[in-house]
Amino acid sequence: AQKVTQAQTEISVVEKEDVTLDCVYETRDTTYYLFWYKQPPSGELVFLIRRNSFDEQNEISGRYSWNFQKSTSSFNFTITASQVVDSAVYFCALSDGGANNLFFGTGTRLTVIP
């Protein structure tokens, strides 16, 4: 069965601090996809990144970076030099190779204090 665990329910940081959001997943499939979505206070979910299970390269996009480690079944998300606009709920999600579903974690609420 697929499962995504985001153990950090809420995190608060002061602006310009770095912060890492943890994501641990479980799946029996060898082919799967991992995602991060952002839900700002306005409520809509915004896609941030997709990773497939065969690509363990870390990715950096501006202040955002993602660390995918199959050995620990983790797909962690780091925001460097956080800004107030980063305040949101962040969801990690898993989709296995043939499923018509996206299994979401319970989300981490990030608050960046000015």
Closer CB to other proteins, 86 or 96, in the complex:
96
Q: Which is nearer to other proteins, 83 or 106 (CB)?
A: 106
Enter the tokens of residue 86: 């980063």
How near is the Cβ of 81 to other proteins at its closest, in Å? 27
Name the minimum Å distance from CB 58 to other proteins: 19
Residues that bind other proteins (CB under 8 A): 4, 9, 31-33, 35, 37, 42-47, 50, 52, 91, 95-102, 104-107
Shortest distance (Å) from residue 56 CB to other proteins: 16
CB closer to other proteins, 64 vs 104: 104
**Residue 5 vs 67, nearer CB to other proteins:** 5
The b/e string for 42-79 (b: 16+ C-beta within 10 A; e otherwise) is: eeeeeebbebebeeeeeeeeeebbbbbeeeebbbbbbb
